[in-house]
Amino acid sequence: MASLLESTSQETLHPTATLAATASLPRLGSPAPDFEAVTTHGKIRLSDYQGTWLVLFSHPADFTPVCTTEFLAFAAIAPDLRKRNVELLGLSIDSVSSHIAWARNIKDKFGVDIPFPIIADSNKEVATLYGMLMPGESKTETSRCVFVIDPTGIVRAMIYYPLTTGRNTDEIVRLIDALQTTDKHAIATPANWHPGDKVIVPPPSTMEDAEARTKAGYECTDWYFCKKTI
């Protein structure tokens, strides 16, 4: 951080830039910040999800149209996610009464149950902890953030969308499939991968490995670019 400050003129920074604040934000591969929060299902701690994958996501506000389409979409993928040992947990800076009223409204107007808890983060504690507030967009609404946290509490993926753009929940399911496949088979997944597609064999780290893989039966375009079927 210090080197960045030294090499970057303050005049070139956007007025909302707060470099110091980014130091404590979640990082891929690091433990997710712990919290206890009031939700529509009672008080919940992050540690309650130990042993389960968690998709923690924020939305700007209850009773807004894009967020409503997102909640319908998240509710639609909830059964598929549960089959993958994944739970959903929503968040916004609204009260629990507002969340309950909105969920009931969605049930009334769209016939859809919201099966997952929603954090009522009125004091912005969790939103601040996870960097869900983007002052350049709004100081009072959380952006459309997604944090994928694995069963050991490690942040495995993060997605940030602006207020104006609803998320693609199919991509979240695809991301979970990719992460779980990576964990199970120690492989990587190529662009636009879906379950059933070939996967990437991690590049070799030694000359010996590079030579060995040419005889391992992989589908290799070159020594560093090999795929296989799982």
Partner 1 sequence: MACIGSKGELTESARKMLTALEHPASPEDVAARTDLPLFRVRAGLREMAEAGLVELQGASYAPTELGRSLLAA
Binding-site member from 15, 29, 42, 217 for partner 1 (CB under 8 A): 42
- Closer residue to partner 1, CB minimum distance, 50 or 165: 50
- Closer residue to partner 1, CB minimum distance, 99 or 213: 99
Tokens at 92, concatenated: 């916004």
The window from 2-10, 25-33, 41-49, 177-185 that contacts partner 1 (CB under 8 A) reads 41-49
Task: State in angstroms the smallest separation of the CB of 102 from partner 1.
Answer: 19
Nearest CA to 63 out of 30, 8, 101 is that of 101
Provide the H-helix boundaries in the chain: 2-7, 65-83, 96-110, 125-130, 169-185, 207-213
Q: How many residues bind partner 1 (CB under 8 A)?
A: 12
User: Which residues, 45 to 84, sit near partner 1 by CB under 8 A?
Assistant: 45, 47-49, 51-52, 82
Tokens at 194, concatenated: 């879906």
Give the amino acid at 12. Answer: T
Tell me: does residue 41 bind partner 1 (CB under 8 A).
yes
CA gap 227, 62 in Å, rounded: 45
- Closer residue to partner 1, CB minimum distance, 49 or 71: 49
Task: State in angstroms the smallest separation of the CB of 150 from partner 1.
Answer: 14
Binding-site member from 44, 66, 158, 210 for partner 1 (CB under 8 A): 44
Tokens at 30, concatenated: 């690091």
In the chain, the largest separation of any two C-alpha atoms, in whole Å, equals 64
Task: State in angstroms the smallest separation of the CB of 44 from partner 1.
Answer: 5
Tokens at 185, concatenated: 């088979």
CA gap 167, 156 in Å, rounded: 18
Task: State in angstroms the smallest separation of the CB of 42 from partner 1.
Answer: 3
- Closer residue to partner 1, CB minimum distance, 30 or 47: 47
Active site residue 145: no
CA gap 126, 92 in Å, rounded: 9
CA gap 132, 191 in Å, rounded: 27
Tell me: does residue 104 bind partner 1 (CB under 8 A).
no
Give the amino acid at 91. Answer: L
- Closer residue to partner 1, CB minimum distance, 41 or 84: 41
Tell me: does residue 163 bind partner 1 (CB under 8 A).
no
Tokens at 76, concatenated: 């639609």
Report strand pairing: 144-149 vs 42-45.
unpaired
Residues making contact with partner 1 (CB under 8 A): 41-45, 47-49, 51-52, 82, 87
Q: Which residues are catalytic?
A: 67
